[in-house]
């Protein structure tokens, strides 16, 4: 069991520069679409609301979606203390986390040049349990403010029992890479360029709809 105590006092450190490249963050395919730049990585992490966490259980891979928030040099995950994925990370299991934004469908004149526009980050490492209640509370505040700006001050904070029931994990942004595809389809060439088919991008846009009040909210 590795229970590294780590505070979130470095939460406001600015991101800067480029991460070191390791064997597993070396860009293999279409390296021109990849980056180890912290500003690019952070921009993707800060736009997404869900990540996918992979870990190994009983010798086999498992991947689970979960909410997260980035603060400074860490992603923060949280959930019930009985959560199996969080428990694995709390116990020091190696994990890989992916964050993906889908931006558009890329249609070309040829089937082969169809693609998707996306931005994604893949991270590797081990998590650490956030144990001090004040640190946990700061992470939960950041999670709430990610859902809706100012929400941490527009709701009752978790009390001691609720904090004790919540496992908070910090995952370092230390071994990671970003990858993105942007823009129009690759040009179809030769006779393909003259084919009478439309080519271009259909953007995918995620928006927040009109809020739906809970049944017990008085207007």
Q: Which of residues 87-116 bind a second copy (CB under 8 A)?
A: 94-98, 100, 102, 104-105, 107-112, 114, 116
Size of the site for a second copy (CB under 8 A): 86
Q: Which residue is associated with the tokens 């040049």?
A: 113
Q: Do the Cβ atoms of 104 and 158 come closer than 8 Å?
A: no
Q: Do the Cβ atoms of 110 and 192 come closer than 8 Å?
A: yes
Q: Of these, 11, 27, 33, 52, which contacts a second copy (CB under 8 A)?
A: 52
217 binds a second copy (CB under 8 A): yes
The kind and range of the H/E element at 175 are: strand 175-181
Q: Of these, 28, 32, 150, 160, which contacts a second copy (CB under 8 A)?
A: 28
* 139-178 positions binding a second copy, by CB under 8 A: 140-141, 143-144, 147-148, 151-152, 154-158, 162, 166
**What 8-state DSSP symbol labels residue 9?**
T
Q: Do the Cβ atoms of 8 and 170 come closer than 8 Å?
A: yes
41 token code pair = 């990585």
Segment contacting a second copy by CB under 8 A, of 2-10, 12-20, 38-46, 80-88 = 80-88
Report the nearest approach of a second copy to the CB of residue 31 (Å). 12
33 binds a second copy (CB under 8 A): no
CA distance 166 to 169: 10
CA distance 164 to 81: 8
CA distance 123 to 173: 7
Q: Of these, 29, 32, 160, 190, which contacts a second copy (CB under 8 A)?
A: 29
81 binds a second copy (CB under 8 A): no
Report the nearest approach of a second copy to the CB of residue 161 (Å). 9
């Amino acid at each position: 069991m590795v229970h590294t105590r780590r505070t979130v006092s470095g939460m406001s450190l600015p991101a800067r520069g480029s991460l070191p490249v390791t064997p597993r963050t070396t860009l293999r395919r279409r390296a021109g679409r990849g980056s180890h730049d912290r500003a690019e990585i952070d921009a993707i992490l800060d736009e997404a609301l869900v990540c996918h966490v992979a870990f190994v259980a009983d010798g086999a891979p498992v991947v689970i979606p979960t909410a997260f928030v980035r603060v400074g040099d860490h992603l923060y995950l949280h959930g019930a203390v009985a959560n199996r994925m969080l428990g694995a990370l709390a116990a020091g299991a190696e994990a890989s986390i992916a964050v993906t934004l889908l931006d558009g469908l890329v249609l070309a004149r040829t089937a082969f040049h169809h693609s998707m526009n996306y931005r994604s980050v893949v991270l590797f490492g081990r998590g650490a349990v956030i144990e001090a209640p004040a640190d946990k509370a700061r992470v939960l505040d950041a999670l709430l403010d990610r859902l809706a700006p100012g929400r941490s001050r527009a709701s009752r904070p978790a009390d001691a029992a609720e904090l004790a029931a919540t496992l908070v994990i910090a995952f370092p942004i230390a071994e990671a890479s970003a990858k993105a595809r942007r823009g129009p389809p690759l040009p179809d060439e030769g006779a393909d360029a003259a084919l009478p088919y439309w080519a271009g991008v259909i953007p995918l846009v995620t928006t927040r709809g009109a809020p739906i009040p809970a049944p017990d909210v008085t207007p």
